[in-house]
Amino acid sequence: MRRLLLLAPLLLLTVGCGVTQSSEDRATDDAREVAREAGERLYGQRPRTAEEVGRTAAGVDGVEVLRVTGTSTHEGDGVEVVVRTTGRAYSRWRDANEAVVRRCFAVRVSPRSQWREVPRDVDCPKGPALAFAPPPEPPRLPARELRAELPRVPEGGRVDEAEVRRTLAALDLDPAVLTEVKADGGRVGVLLSVKGAPFDPQDCLLARVGPGATEVWVPPRIQRMPGEGGCTIDNALHPLPHPH
């Protein structure tokens, strides 16, 4: 019994050492987490070209894009991006030296991708990181022209939705500008918007034509963030309270 008691601490130490991660392993986990965060930025159902995906990944802090395969997110198996990231970790037992590793991971972007999907470990391709041209400037939303051309309806009058639609058609908008028109409660709302990056403020212009008032405005930045409801036709008809 005494012999067993003396061996117990040694057995615990041996087991403990067997499950302890090395600082290099933990640094690799850190590098993988950076790649997973890049995957979160790339996640989404909106169709994107391989160039758009690569450019977005290259814009994530700590990420280098080494290879992009595929044509678009909604063709075939989607787009695969090979990224290189850096991970860091300190030794827990011996000294305070920092382990620094550079690792490569493959991130798949398609409608079948999972949220917070763990990226696949891959060998780093040879060659420098890819460079991407800046994205094209989005088309300008014609606030001045819309304000000047939308119909003015007198108090007690009736708003003609067809006339509002004809006004928009006459503006000859850029094809990239999305248009939505909706009538509700005797008023007609208008939404002009341009698709933007999924984590950035969206670019949109709202208008409302009603008896006695025609208004055109851009929602505050915080309302134009994805999911905040600022760039919707309902916000044109029933504006959200202005943020304090």
pLDDT tens digit string along 61-97?
Answer: 999 999 999 999 999 999 999 999 999 988 766 556 7
Residue 32 dihedral angles phi and psi, to the nearest 5°: -65, -35
pLDDT value at residue 74 = 94
Q: Using CA atoms, how far apart are residues 27 and 158, in angstroms rounded to an integer?
A: 67
Query: What is the distance between the alpha carbons of residues 56 and 231, in angstroms, rounded to a whole number?
Result: 22
pLDDT digits (tens, 9 = 90+) for 130-172: 999 988 888 999 999 999 999 999 999 999 999 999 999 999 9
Whether 6 has a pLDDT exceeding 70, the answer reads no
Give the Cα separation of 83 and 87 in Å (integer): 13
* pLDDT-based confidence at residue 20 (cuts at 50, 70, 90): low
CA atoms within 13 A on the CB side of 11: 6
The predicted pLDDT at position 93 comes to 63
For residues 170 and 58, what is the distance between their CA atoms, to the nearest angstrom? 40
Q: What is the pLDDT of residue 91?
A: 73
Q: CA 209: distance to chain centroid?
A: 33
Distance CA 40, CA 160 (A): 44
Residues paired with 179 in a beta bridge: 192
Q: Is a pLDDT exceeding 80 seen at residue 198?
A: no
Per-residue pLDDT tens digits for 202-243 = 999 999 999 999 999 999 999 999 889 999 999 999 999 987
Contacts of residues 174-180 at CB distance under 8 Å and 24 or more positions apart, as own/partner, are 174/139, 174/140, 176/138, 176/139, 177/139, 177/141, 180/233
Q: Is the pTM of this model over 0.85?
A: no
